[in-house]
Amino acid sequence: MYTVRIILSSLFITMTCTGFFCNDEEAPTVYQGDPTTYQFTASSTTATLLTGEEISVILSNGTSPYSLISNSNPGVVEVTVNGSKLIIVGIAPGTTVLTIREGSTAERTVSVTITVVNTISFLKPGSLSFSSSTGDVSISGRVSLSTVTIPFGDGVGAVQRFGSTTLTAIKVHSPTKIDLFEAEFVYATSLIAGTYYYPSGGNKVQIIYEKNINPQVKDANSTLFIFLEATAVITSFNDSVMTGTFSGTGKNLNNTTEGITITNGTFSVPILRLGGNEERSIRGVVDRLKRKYSSRQ
């Protein structure tokens, strides 16, 4: 049976901006001075990811080439060193410690602890609602994001890590009919209260809304709206909750003559932080979705 893969964080791959959402990655800082005056660092020293998910950790204040000298539990993750990046793919549930060495001084290392899980569950419920040209939507509940099971109930939550905060809302009509709303807030350094735009603006919001997903059938037809214009305002946030408003207009990826307009969007969601900030590229939303619904049990 095909199962849904709800994978939130973006893959860190270089893209040419010829399609939908993407953003260029700035080069990470690399120290070239006196090795006695700096500390070799990683953008995140701990991170949690879902099985099958791919993340990237940026190495800085060191001199290339960087090398992975140990992976305490290689059955948990696959690791590739790509310049100043660690590309990490979750393989199986568990925890591993990665030790990376920088090139100028053999004994100068940094450790990154990675935990891989099948399910990420929120302890508190969230809510999201909006009016649209295709019908009004109201979703509330405590969400669980999984790579191995089909969502069993409605829920809303936001995961914060790696240069973005992604809000996900799931509406379960039946085991073969699920709606998914996703808004990814992208920023240079950290999440802040204020206005996020797409396509213009320094702080961006990228929105998708997919209706009638059948997670039990690979490549089943659904209605996928890509938002070509969007505005979202984070009115308040703290370590545990984020509130705000949103609106926008989009097109059905599978039928470009069909559009959607969203107004009066509101959200109040719990935040779960799973990693630190880092410089990164934003892959196209279409590419992200192809990976979401591609696993097989």
pLDDT value at position 247?
97
Amino acid at 249: T
CB atoms closer than 10 angstroms to residue 85? 20
Would you say the C-alpha torsion 218, 224, 228, 233 has a positive or negative sign? negative
DSSP 213-277: E-TTSTT---EEEEEEEEEEEEEEE-SSEEEEEEEEEEEETTEEEEEEEEEEEEEEEEEEE-S--
Domain that holds residue 253: 119-285
Q: Is residue 294 part of a domain?
A: no
Q: Residue 170: which of 210, 133, 136 has the closest Cα? A: 210
- Rg from Cα positions in the chain: 19
Q: Is residue 11 part of a domain?
A: no
- What is the reported pLDDT for 276? 58
Q: Which residue has the higher pLDDT, 13 or 219?
A: 219
Give me the DSSP letters along 190-215: S--SEEEEESSSSSEEEEEEEEEE-T
Determine the Cα–Cα distance for residues 88 and 81; give it in Å rounded to an integer: 9
Q: Residue 21 falls within a domain, yes or no?
A: no
Question: Is residue 69 included in any domain, yes or no?
Answer: no
Residue 16 lies in a domain: no
**Residue 221 within a domain:** yes
Q: How many domains does the chain have?
A: 1
Residue scoring higher pLDDT (286 or 82): 82
**pTM (two decimals):** 0.72
Judge whether 234 lies within some domain. Answer: yes
- φ and ψ at 291, to 5 degrees? -80, -25
Kindly state whether residue 297 falls inside one of the protein's structural domains. no
Choice among 167-176, 234-243, 267-276 with the minimum mean pLDDT = 267-276
- The pLDDT of residue 2 is above 80: no
Q: How far apart are CA 287 and CA 98, in angstroms?
A: 28
More confident residue, 190 or 203: 203
Predicted confidence at residue 126, as pLDDT, reads: 96
